[in-house]
Amino acid sequence: MAESLLAVQAVLLQQFKNLEKRVRLIARHDEQARLLMTATGVGPIVSLTYAAAIDDPARFKKSKTVGSHFGITPKKYQSGEIDITGRISKCGDKSVRLALCQAAHIILTKPVKSSLLKDWALRLAKRIGMKKAKVALARKLAVIMHRMLVDGTPFNPAEGAAKA
């Protein structure tokens, strides 16, 4: 019985490797995906997911609105004297939101040399907590990646931190 389970596991692993190879090949031939992969923490899956969701970067007048398009901005409830800022709205494409949060998680948990975005998020995590800092970093990453697509310029860590 164990031999059959190991055989199935070997087949699944081979299929996974084939799928990963195809995704990397697609990302290598896509101009937008190659551009987005210059950003820290962004790999082929995140770049392809984001590029497919944005489609035409000119749809957004400002890069700041991209975060709200994917539901990575806080909900607001205002009525009379009441002003409540809630959790993130979770409107928009869930797969893009998940991919951006995974990229933010990679930036914060993996050893990255002198990443100004990581330093900004770690300072934020000390004040508001790691979970909220990851979401804030995901939103900032979405804004930076949109600006990269609009301008056609690769990721510049110093410029990203200046905007932070």
Mean per-residue pLDDT pooled into runs of 10, the chain (164 residues): 95 96 95 93 94 92 92 88 87 92 93 82 94 94 94 79 50
| Number of domains, the chain | 1
pLDDT at 80: 85
Give the range of the structural domain holding residue 152, as residue numbers without chain letter: 2-163
DSSP structure string for 119-153: HHHHHHHHHH-HHHHHHHHHHHHHHHHHHHHHHT-
pLDDT at 149: 95
Contact 53, 93 (CB under 8 A): yes
